Amino acid sequence: MKAALFDLDGLLIDSEPLWEEAEISVFDRYGMTLTPAICQKMKGFRVDESIRYVLKLFGVDKPVDPLQIEREILAQVKQLINIKGRGMPGFVYIIHFFKSRGLKIALASSSKLEIINEALNKLGVIQHFDAICSAENEPYGKPHPGIFLSAARALDVEPDECIVFEDSLNGIIAAKAARMKAVLVPDKTLTGDLRIAIADLELKSLLGFKEEHIRRLTEER
């Protein structure tokens, strides 16, 4: 293995509740009441994909501007990250784990670059990444593998030389479609979901990843 690719929201920073708060607040202004279950369904989507999903779900019959909704959501998420954003357990540990071993690391997120930069600066780790990739530059978001394949190219490594760390089912599907090893630190809402068995490794937190796991994942190639 030569590289580790990391999701952002819900894996390195506890921002999923912030996205949910922003989405519920903004869509409520437009007369659409989101439930936590709807927000969970959109986990791993790009913000534009989430907006299209909600508008289709509610069958909106009056003119709305998806770009304006997107601007409002992004502005609120950035504000919430600054106020409430905090790192997930082990986010510093896992970055040091790979950097200290000479492996390259990349951030591969469905979020827009402005959100990625806001979050990584909040955590104080932006300087440690060899590449930062946003699905806003891809034709499709997760579960399409495009974002992970782009990250591998940015690091100049082959897909099967990468380990992906994810917290969502859509992210794990994307990683496996990219022919990469997939490590899942599952969101609590995935408890009991049999579909997560497609991950190569499941951990309770990033702190649980050890040297033996690299050996195991390498031997399974």
* CA-wise closest residue to 163 among 111, 210, 116, 112: 210
Map residue 146 onto helix, strand or coil. helix
Active site members: 7, 9
- Hey, which residues does 13 pair with through a beta bridge? 9, 87
Look up residue 125 and give its two tokens.
């780790």
Map residue 149 onto helix, strand or coil. helix
Buried/exposed 57-76: b ≥16 CB within 10 Å, e otherwise: ebeeeeebeeeebbebbbeb
Beta strands (DSSP E) in 9-154 are: 104-109, 131-134
Strands 131-134 and 181-184: unpaired
Length of the chain measured in residues = 221
CA dist 49 → 18, 52, 94 (Å): 18, 5, 30
